[in-house]
Chains A and B, each alone.
Chain A
Amino acid sequence: GAVVSQHPSWVICKSGTSVKIECRSLDFQATTMFWYRQFPKQSLMLMATSNEGSKATYEQGVEKDKFLINHASLTLSTLTVTSAHPEDSSFYICSASASGTGVNNEQFFGPGTRLTVL
């Protein structure tokens, strides 16, 4: 149980284009989903927290107009990187949490999406 999928697993795009990444909880309802970014050999960096049906809460320094997050249902959240630039190239990872699946705050991670902006 507690499986989270992400799509696509990797994407290469041209500078200035927008990229959408999907995160799905496959066998549970995710009341909260999280979006992280990780640069090579660095720690996980939380970008934003989203709850179903409400606006995402962004971490300090993360531009909400550049990283659009939609959590339209209890099983799907999307992250759109708008007008992507080479410095946005990174490993984007989502995680999901649900009350009732076990210990409070337990998060299950998707496999990640590697974004390369040319």
Chain B
Amino acid sequence: QKEVEQNSGPLSVPEGAIASLNCTYSDRGSQSFFWYRQYSGKSPELIMSIYSNGDKEDGRFTAQLNKASQYVSLLIRDSQPSDSATYLCAAPTGANNLFFGTGTRLTVIP
């Protein structure tokens, strides 16, 4: 089992809808999780971090963490075409590093 797994998509949602991106992880001891956004041809950009069970909101983004079920999700409300990108989930390793998922490609249709 991979350390971090994501559905590669593509996920398409209409403009204004909620986009839901999901990620599962295998290390039950992981304490912190990250969501990165990567536009085509660009490097990843950190958009959310979460380390407590429950929800964390930042503008139109909400990260949700459920440690018992070992999943973390990212909700994007009022999706915009500019949100179209690949979203990477990441969880720490024991070596001061991060495991990155393969990414979910999101397309927001105008």
Contact = CB atoms under 8 A, between A and B. Distances in A.
B88 A44 contact: yes
B102 A49 contact: no
A34 B97 contact: yes
Interface string A84-98: 000000010100010
B49 A106 contact: yes
B26 to A, nearest CB: 16
Contact of B100 (A32, A43, A102, A106): A43
Given A91-B43, A102-B49, A110-B43, 17 more contacts: A32-B97, A43-B102, A46-B97, A49-B95, A103-B32, A103-B34, A103-B51, A104-B96, A105-B32, A105-B92, A106-B46, A106-B49, A107-B46, A107-B98, A109-B36, A111-B43, A112-B42
24 contacts: A43-B100, A44-B44, A44-B88, A44-B100, A91-B43, A93-B43, A93-B44, A102-B49, A103-B49, A104-B31, A104-B96, A105-B93, A105-B96, A105-B97, A106-B32, A106-B34, A106-B49, A107-B34, A107-B46, A107-B98, A108-B46, A109-B36, A109-B44, A112-B43
Judged by DSSP, the binding face of B is: loop
Interface residues of A, number: 20
Contacts of B88: 44
A97 B88 CA distance: 17
Q: Which of A104, A107, A109, A111 has the most CB of B within 10 A?
A: A107
Nearest to B93: A105
Contacts of B93: 105
Interface string B20-46: 000000000001101010000111111
Contacts of B36: 109
B107 to A, nearest CB: 14
